[in-house]
Amino acid sequence: MIDSHVHTKEKVIKIGDFRKKLYGAGMTGAVILSLPPATFFTAGQKYPFIQRLNNILEWCKDEKDFYPFFWLDPLEEDALKQIEVCCKQGICGFKIICDRFPPSHATATEVFRCIAAKGKPILFHSGILWDGKVSSKYNHPLEFECLLEIPKLRFVLAHVSWPWCDELIAIYGKFLNALALNPQNSAEMFIDTTPGTPVIYRKEVLEKLYKVGYDLENNIMFGSDSYADEYNCQWVEEWIARDKEILSSSGLSDTQIDKYFGSNARRFLGIDKFVLEKKLPLAGLN
């Protein structure tokens, strides 16, 4: 069981405390995201690259099931250099929020290419963005269609892109089709269901995802958006229980549910390496 979306704050690192709470919620591993880049905040404390890198590495030190992700601003002048250093230091992947540029921005695209070439995955924010800025327009799922041009990129769109969940499913179909046509080279899209979705939308969204008829059960994963520093066990447990109930009442098998809560994240992270043959989405031409 992997929580694929956990944040950090600038606080004293208490790994043992976090592990205990994580296990308490029924999880055994976590993707942990670094502190944000300086450009993300309009106010408040900003942290230099090296401090953010050391902080996230410290969180994951000696914990084989904690996966450090570095939150990168692809428009920072030394972004490519940052990727080099991160990869050498053992970063498992990158978190990116397109808060003032579309994903198709030329400089950003070059950075995404570099990450794909290193074999590392990217976790993108998608959906409405609570950052106090005019930024949500860059995070529509369709904005990410440009990633089709980056060979072998593994990326995930977070928060089921709420409230644009239908658009997310449509763009997933597009990437699935591309992957089925060109399994060796195409980019592969994953879906992160981190709330995101307010509770009243949850059942509708999960049912749409699993019943749309797309080959999706290997590309969807659970995350909590909680903080490692103050992991909200009870809240995470509630989301897990709610999702389990929705998925099992929708007729999903235990194996499918296990994939959702863990093994899909392992494949996204590149820990489990195997190529899945994808079924083409249904179309009249098939």
Binding site for Zn ion (CB under 5 A): 225
Pick between residue 186 and residue 226 the one whose CB is nearest to Zn ion.
Answer: 226
C-beta nearest to Zn ion: residue: 225
**Smallest distance, Zn ion to C-beta of residue 85, A:** 23
In sequence order, which residues have a C-beta less than 8 Å from that of residue 136 and are 6 or more positions away? 127, 128, 129
Distances from the Cα of 69 to the Cα of 33, 54, 72, angstroms: 5, 12, 9
- Specify burial of residue 83 (Cβ count, 10 A radius: 0-12, 13-18, 19+): buried
SS3 255: helix
Within 10 angstroms of residue 276's Cβ, the number of other Cβ atoms is 12
Pick between residue 192 and residue 215 the one whose CB is nearest to Zn ion.
Answer: 192
Question: How many Å is the Cα radius of gyration of the chain?
Answer: 18
- Cα distance between residue 108 and residue 104, in whole Å: 7
**Smallest distance, Zn ion to C-beta of residue 282, A:** 33
Structure tokens at 237: 């447990």
**Smallest distance, Zn ion to C-beta of residue 130, A:** 10
Pick between residue 3 and residue 225 the one whose CB is nearest to Zn ion.
Answer: 225
**Smallest distance, Zn ion to C-beta of residue 142, A:** 21
183-205 per-residue burial string, b: 16 or more CB within 10 A, e: under 16: eeebbbbbbbbbbbbeeebbbeb
Pick between residue 127 and residue 173 the one whose CB is nearest to Zn ion.
Answer: 127
Pick between residue 155 and residue 214 the one whose CB is nearest to Zn ion.
Answer: 155
In sequence order, which residues have a C-beta less than 8 Å from that of residue 133 and are 6 or more positions away? 42, 99, 100
**Smallest distance, Zn ion to C-beta of residue 7, A:** 6
**Smallest distance, Zn ion to C-beta of residue 230, A:** 14
Pick between residue 36 and residue 74 the one whose CB is nearest to Zn ion.
Answer: 36
